[in-house]
A and B are shown apart, each in its own frame.
Chain A
């Protein structure tokens, strides 16, 4: 009787004693973990904790050195992604894999396009459009989506694309879905929609493995979380039993509650460092006004598309200013290129580290010293001294606790957090007056976040004015001294962040925005 174990009571997927070693690092060590049927299960851990290695093993991309994988109780070998997919394991990766210039239908069936009947059709590979459309309708019905089969993927919103991606992954009868950072490109509303989608999939019996850096999200959406640190499994917990602080403590092994550095009690309101008045940049920005004081960290809060990034870009000279004024230390600032902005003491950490921040094939030294080395310095010399740049880099590596094997290794080998520190370091090297930081901790581990927050606060204490744009409200509330609200290309209000909760902020953003827009238009 004991042998008659019902499939329903067995975990959907279980790993036992899983270990994996890369050259010099033990990526996973004796990991035992169970993913139940019909649960949303978040994998948490800092960069390098072993999450992606674990995911790569259960999706068949790599094989473990030791240990076994059981699916529905049967030990199986996942030797390739195709095998894993055959066994019902589907994965959606951070970089979406849809092809933008093809239609929804074509993308859904891209891996096995139906050919029209007859020998000729099959030989020539003529695509059967009717069958294509039928499949799309079926999949859409199954997941309660209202896809237009003929719409180009490029015309879909990020959240529609995300759901299409999930639909495609599940269309081959998958029962376990792995989602890697699915919400990093989504607005809050879209996130909620995705969570609902995931819950309804769970209720249909699908197991979901969720990977995110956003701990609140993990706790909100999952049933259970499992924590990895340095390749070791630290246990699974029901989300209802956990707080964010406890999770941080588990992940980092250090006391929580010190995520954000202490704020200054009151920023002395002397002359503003940066004074923005009635700034416009058609068609994105209409009416932007705020002051930034030396020693202050100012947050710009707004929903995706509200123009937060555009404000930074206009100040930095990459977006054309069409009206209003910007003053730096009381003098008019009129820049039309980043070079002029930098010469005036401005610095910008761009939103997208990979495409706009990093020089991936270049050394750590070059990534840190690029600004100091390419903009003419005080010495006005045409020449550079490699020694001096190396010195600069090793100073910064020590100061920001950047984890590198060697300062000569390419930046692409570093983790996201350390890459972001390189981008930050290059600006600290030239001691800016104003630092514009666009999503300074996106896709960065907790440990690196703490380090980045500490550094930003340190800079502020040294008199730098800092503007932070962030989609994470806890970051704005925890880090900033003041928050300016942005909506539809306008600044619509401001508040101090003492005693402010994230919900307050969201409410203000929604209500404030509406009433002000209403007034203006009324």
Chain B
């Protein structure tokens, strides 16, 4: 006997089925456009604050929109940009490289020793420098992936080692007197835009293509999106990550070469301030610190924004120390914004 307290609904009585969400090609197309736009916004949304900032600087300082200043700004952006592109790729695989600034310095010193001290043909010096960076990157990668040490620790250690070695080899002095041809890498230009800017843009285009249109690029994203799942779909996770570390090290070395050519000087402390700027640019550009998400296009805009901040604050006579404070705070704000977005 059923309890009198409630009435059981007969099995035959059923309300109509509500409409369920189904996949419709037409709707998908519209949404695809929407997603495209919102994605484009995610990486190019930076253009608006950037434009406003430029406008403000143009109004408040007479110097900002001179050829010389813009050339300088882009040149600064180029060096940080080369570093940041490597960092973006690595962050996509859910790893981080704190040694990029130190590698930049060590590679510049390597170039200096080979080219200036040993009077070797300068292109070989470049090979030596980039080789140094790639080797350090591979060491970072192998120790991280094969021995299971967190990349934060590994690259903190190589940061110390690289800076120490660079200073030891040069006795803490700068190496200068690079041949003129080598210096052209940093000085040559076209229509007021210097070669390093072209190098950075070329690197950005190549890496963007790799990330979006190649199997390797999808492996980078997959490894960062879910390491275990990536392994089970046949991706060699340690190898892919090590490759990203090597790329990060190689990019840092390239930045060191450009810096040495530009300043006709190689010094172990070259890149010490660049780590902060590079990571700031990457997070401003929308790359996730938790892996699997990011783009070098966003990073490119982030780099220009960071360079503009430095440039603008210089023009406003703000001390470089305050500039560091500002960049640090921007990283913090972007971090907070990202974690709030993820929480939703």
Residues of A within 8 A of B (CB): 9, 11, 25-26, 34, 36, 48, 229-232, 234-238, 241, 246, 249-250, 253, 316, 318, 337-339, 341-343, 348, 350, 355-362, 366, 370-371, 373-376, 382-384, 386, 394, 397-398, 402-409, 426
Q: Are A234 and B219 in contact (CB under 8 A)?
A: no
Which residues of B lie under 8 Å from residue A398 when comparing CB positions? 23
Known contacts A404-B23, A426-B233: does B219 contact A374 (CB below 8 Å)?
yes
Q: B43-86 CB contact bits vs A (8 Å, 1 = yes)?
A: 00000000000000000000000000000000000000000000
Q: Are B214 and A384 in contact (CB under 8 A)?
A: yes
Known contacts A232-B18, A253-B14, A359-B292: does B213 contact A384 (CB below 8 Å)?
yes
Within the complex, the shortest CB–CB distance from B146 to chain A, in Å, comes to: 15
Which residues of A lie under 8 Å from residue B34 when comparing CB positions? 406
Segment from B112-120, B133-141, B220-228 that makes contact with A: B220-228
Q: Which 6 A-B pairs have the closest CB atoms?
A: A235-B9, A406-B31, A359-B225, A339-B234, A230-B18, A408-B35
Between A and B, 23 residue pairs with Cβ closer than 8 Å are A11-B5, A26-B18, A34-B5, A230-B20, A231-B18, A236-B9, A237-B9, A250-B14, A316-B232, A341-B234, A342-B233, A356-B229, A357-B232, A360-B226, A361-B288, A362-B225, A366-B221, A370-B218, A373-B218, A374-B235, A375-B215, A384-B217, A386-B213
Which residues of A lie under 8 Å from residue B235 when comparing CB positions? 339, 374
Within the complex, the shortest CB–CB distance from A42 to chain B, in Å, comes to: 14
Which residues of B lie under 8 Å from residue A371 when comparing CB positions? 233-234
Closest to A226 in B: B9
Q: Are B222 and A370 in contact (CB under 8 A)?
A: yes
Closest to B2 in A: A238
Q: Are B292 and A405 in contact (CB under 8 A)?
A: no
Q: Are A383 and B233 in contact (CB under 8 A)?
A: no
Q: Are A382 and B234 in contact (CB under 8 A)?
A: no
Which residues of A lie under 8 Å from residue B263 when comparing CB positions? none
* A408 in complex: contacting residue of B9, B32, B288, B293, CB < 8 Å: B32
Which residues of B lie under 8 Å from residue A237 when comparing CB positions? 8-9, 11
Q: Are A359 and B8 in contact (CB under 8 A)?
A: no
- Which range holds the interface residue count of chain B? 35 or more
Closest to B23 in A: A397
Within the complex, the shortest CB–CB distance from A33 to chain B, in Å, comes to: 9
Residues of B within 8 A of A (CB): 2, 5-6, 8-11, 13-15, 17-18, 20-23, 25, 27-28, 31-32, 34-36, 212-219, 221-222, 225-226, 228-236, 288, 292-293
Within the complex, the shortest CB–CB distance from B47 to chain A, in Å, comes to: 22
Within the complex, the shortest CB–CB distance from B338 to chain A, in Å, comes to: 12
Closest to B31 in A: A406
Within the complex, the shortest CB–CB distance from B276 to chain A, in Å, comes to: 27
Q: Are A382 and B214 in contact (CB under 8 A)?
A: yes
- Besides the contacts A341-B234, A371-B234, A384-B215, what 12 more A-B pairs have beta carbons closer than 8 Å? A230-B18, A237-B8, A337-B236, A338-B232, A359-B229, A361-B288, A370-B222, A375-B215, A384-B217, A394-B23, A394-B25, A406-B31
The A interface, classified by DSSP as helix, strand, loop or mixed, is mixed
Closest to A33 in B: B6
Q: How many angstroms from the CA of A407 to the CA of B230 in the assembled complex?
A: 20
Q: Are B14 and A355 in contact (CB under 8 A)?
A: no
Q: Are A403 and B234 in contact (CB under 8 A)?
A: no
Q: Are B232 and A348 in contact (CB under 8 A)?
A: yes
Q: How many angstroms from the CA of A394 to the CA of B24 in the assembled complex?
A: 10
Within the complex, the shortest CB–CB distance from B18 to chain A, in Å, comes to: 4
Within the complex, the shortest CB–CB distance from B209 to chain A, in Å, comes to: 9
Within the complex, the shortest CB–CB distance from A9 to chain B, in Å, comes to: 7
Which residues of A lie under 8 Å from residue B25 when comparing CB positions? 394
Which residues of B lie under 8 Å from residue A403 when comparing CB positions? 20-23
Which residues of B lie under 8 Å from residue A230 when comparing CB positions? 17-18, 20
Within the complex, the shortest CB–CB distance from A13 to chain B, in Å, comes to: 13
Q: Are B9 and A342 in contact (CB under 8 A)?
A: no
Q: Are A376 and B213 in contact (CB under 8 A)?
A: no
Q: How many angstroms from the CA of A447 to the CA of B15 in the assembled complex?
A: 18
Known contacts A359-B229, A362-B225: does B234 contact A236 (CB below 8 Å)?
no
Q: Are B218 and A384 in contact (CB under 8 A)?
A: yes
Closest to B236 in A: A339
Which residues of B lie under 8 Å from residue A235 when comparing CB positions? 8-10, 13
Within the complex, the shortest CB–CB distance from A439 to chain B, in Å, comes to: 14
Q: Are B213 and A357 in contact (CB under 8 A)?
A: no
Q: How many angstroms from the CA of A375 to the CA of B234 in the assembled complex?
A: 7
Q: How many angstroms from the CA of A234 to the CA of B16 in the assembled complex?
A: 11
Q: How many angstroms from the CA of A44 to the CA of B100 in the assembled complex?
A: 55
Q: How many angstroms from the CA of A36 to the CA of B214 in the assembled complex?
A: 60
Q: How many angstroms from the CA of A121 to the CA of B6 in the assembled complex?
A: 54
Within the complex, the shortest CB–CB distance from B303 to chain A, in Å, comes to: 24
